[in-house]
Structure 1
Amino acid sequence: MSNHLDQLDELDLQAARERIRELEEQLNWERRLLRAVKDNLKIAVYAKDLEGRKLLTNPVDLDNQGIRDESQVLGKTDFDLFPRHIAEQFWRDDCAVLQQGKSIIDREELLIEKATGRQRWLRTSKLPIRDDSGQVIGLVGFGQDITVEKQLEQENAEAAAKIREQEDAVEAMISELAKIPDNIGKLVNSITYIAKQTKMVSINATIEAARLGDLGRGFEVVAEEVGQLSDRSNQAAAQVRAAIAEVETLVSRILEVWKTRSQADERR
């Protein structure tokens, strides 16, 4: 009976050992799979415990911190790796996940390397890790480098500001251009008035020349020349008015096109 029990115990022990071996193989496979996945992802992957200590990292996460060896990161908090004001911001987000069980999705974060001061922008998501009872026991985070995207946004904003500045300058010039026909028109009115007065002088000189007869022949020549000058002035004034009308039409079209474009830009 005793030998039989011993045989059963030996069989149970062998079965237990076999089961442990299978579990170890399965665990090793899962670890290799996890490492292969995290090490080849093009985004940062990391995990932290309830104290904010890093339990897992990957090459992209290390590169974001300017670190090559994961031994320099594992077991450390963000306060060990980043400037304090940056670490405090990260810890506030971590607490929302670790203490309240909230998920943070697509939060934009600025990373500043403690050693070099190099800056990078990440789009980060942090999710709670729970045990079988639903208690939060840590967090897992993912970060995508969006530094180039942020730089392009900044460049686009600066370009848009310069374009707007140029548009304002063009708008001011168009407004000044719109005043030119009116100013020229006032000048033409003055010329027309002078031409009319000159015409009156010519007429009076002609009358005076006729009254004086032979003595007034000099007046007659002057009156004719003054009359011709008045006529030419009126013709020039008419031509200028026609040109002003064309300019006014062109300016009105430019202002209308500019107004339509500005309204379209505002609606975008």
Structure 2
Amino acid sequence: MPRRTPFSRPAARPATLLVAAGVLAGLTACSAPPEQAAAPAPPPHPAATVAVTSAMPADIADMVVPTTGEQTRLSQGLDAFGRLAADKALRTCLAEHRTPAPPHEPPAFVRFSDIPDLPFIDRNGFNGVIVPGAADATGDRPAEGAGRGIQDRCMKTGTSVEQSLRTLYVDVQGSWFREESSLRTHPRVLAALRSFGPCMADRQIEAPDENAFFALVDQRMQAGDTTGERTLARAYSACMKPAEDVRSELRKALGTRFRADHRQEIDALNTALPAKIREFERRYGVRISFPVL
């Protein structure tokens, strides 16, 4: 996919819906997240770090079928872990051939616009966050001739590593986000969203809706205006809360039904995902991590 964004809307393309950032950003033809008109463009560099934990959740399904902003941190960690392992496989392959890494962004945690993590946004803003253990991309450069062929082969190796993890859960997760996306047009949600523009106006922010708001976020981020971006993040957390309170209630009920309908697939993930994660940690010398407040 061409560019990473701090947000992704993962509703329309289940096979690639969460590849919103990654080891091969800008170099492969991964699908971009759909409907990004309401998402800010990427900053020049993601924020350096946030606090993380490596503790696996008691319920593995929380990583795949998130119903709250807090649970999306688990989903971010799972997705980023696959990209981190892929990046390690890519760099190992390149090192064996004494070939430089191609230009690409480091693996980062990417949040979901459909399930906003308002407390996290309030504290950390909209910038993406580099995953702990990601290699410094400084010094990466494109290669020519034989070197370019090696880079291409090693990139395919990285892609296959990430996909071998994602294959375990992407179908279930894709089904969940398709169902969850129905809440965008739920009458109660649309009614609650009517307060968003007036709430922004009360804060002297000219943003009648989310599209207009994220256009402002984009301007601040592209200008490197950290103070302005953080002010907007705090306003978003406050003004989106009424709608998110409604969505959260509806989403939890929807999630309960979804988990019951997909119990067999989710039970299989409870065994397969932890085993695959442990395998990757041993094989690639990386560790899964999840953002925390």
TM-score over 0.5 for the pair? no
Q: TM-score scaled by structure 2?
A: 0.20
Identify the structure with the greater helix proportion: 1
Bigger radius of gyration: 1
Q: Which structure's residues are more often strand, by fraction?
A: 1
- TM-score relative to the length of structure 1: 0.22
Compare relative contact order (CA 8 Å, sep 6+) and give the higher one, 1 or 2.
2
